Amino acid sequence: MSARPPVLAHWSGWLATGFGVGLSPHVPGTVGSVAALLPWFALRELPLFGYLLVVLLVFGLGTWAAGQVIARIGREDPGMVVIDEFVGLWIALILLPDGWLWLLAGLLVFRVFDILKPWPVSWADRRLKGGFGAMADDVLAGLYALLVLQIAAALLA
């Protein structure tokens, strides 16, 4: 049996890594985004105010937890930190129309913006540091994805 990775020695590591999914050896950001769908199924049942409150709370806790991991390992925005993917995807999926195709589109559009990093996502990724920096670029990618999804929903309604 292998020992627990050092980053998981404190609950901040558990939160920052999305309860360990960020330790995936392959595409941890995508794995984190897919894992973020599990709590989203409960989150989407909340009224909009409650949904936004949870997103804001997880953003705050995630900023702290990511900062703790970054300080512990000495590397800015490490791939293992995926709580930012949770928050970014949850922003993208705000008021998402019902249906699996919309859910898949939301996941894909968010990942595209998170990977390609159009301005100001790229600016935030390069300039902002620590836990806030780790979270900020995914929040911006989530906002871009939200905009695209809501325009698509309005055009297809």
pLDDT in tens, 52-104: 999 999 999 999 999 999 999 888 888 999 999 999 999 999 999 999 999 99
> Do 16 and 66 touch, CB atoms closer than 8 A?
yes
Say if pTM beats, i.e. exceeds, 0.85.
yes
- What residues contact 150, with CB distance under 8 A and at least 6 apart? 95
Cα dihedral 24, 70, 89, 104 in deg (nearest 10): -20
d(CA 36, CA 123): 25
d(CA 60, CA 85): 14
pLDDT in tens, 115-132: 999 999 999 999 999 999
Cα dihedral 47, 52, 55, 61 in deg (nearest 10): -110
- What residues contact 117, with CB distance under 8 A and at least 6 apart? 125, 137, 141
Sign (positive/negative) of CA torsion 88, 44, 37, 111? negative
> Do 46 and 55 touch, CB atoms closer than 8 A?
no
pLDDT band at 1 (very low <50, low <70, confident <90, very high): very low
pLDDT in tens, 33-58: 999 999 999 999 999 999 999 999 99
